[in-house]
Amino acid sequence: MVDIDTGRAGSERDRQFAGTVLKSFPTPQELLILVREGMSLPGDAAVAIDAGGAFLREIRNSSCSSPDLRRQLDFVLRHYPAEGEALLWVHEACAGTLHEWLMPESVYANR
């Protein structure tokens, strides 16, 4: 990753942030169980997903990012929940949108 402040790849700030987020970031298997059981997202996982997305958007918008990295991040962010969206999935009434986020695009487009 690129340190927004210094422009250097893999800074200590980036590693610390990633380590913090990864502690609560749900695994694919955990997400599949939540969707299969129709459960809402645990609060710490929602915060980790939202923080990860904010960090990706920060890198995407940095003047330090190369055009290739920006293109890659555009693709990743296209498949990432909008800012604050994951925080809604903590509430049971919004749990269905977690399922929609994880569906393949072909399934979602044919709905």
The residues spanned by each domain of the chain are 12-109
**CB atoms near residue 103 (< 10 Å):** 12
How confident is the model at residue 68, as a pLDDT? 93
Q: What is the pTM of this model?
A: 0.72
| CB burial string 41-69: b at 16+ within 10 A, e below | beeebbbbbbbbbebeeebbebeebeeeb
Structure tokens at 28: 């694919």
**Maximum CA pair distance of the chain?**
45
Mean pLDDT of 104-109: 55
pLDDT tens track for 15-36: 888 888 888 888 888 888 887 8
The 3-state DSSP class for residue 9 equals strand
CA neighbours closer than 13 Å in the CB half-sphere of residue 47: 8
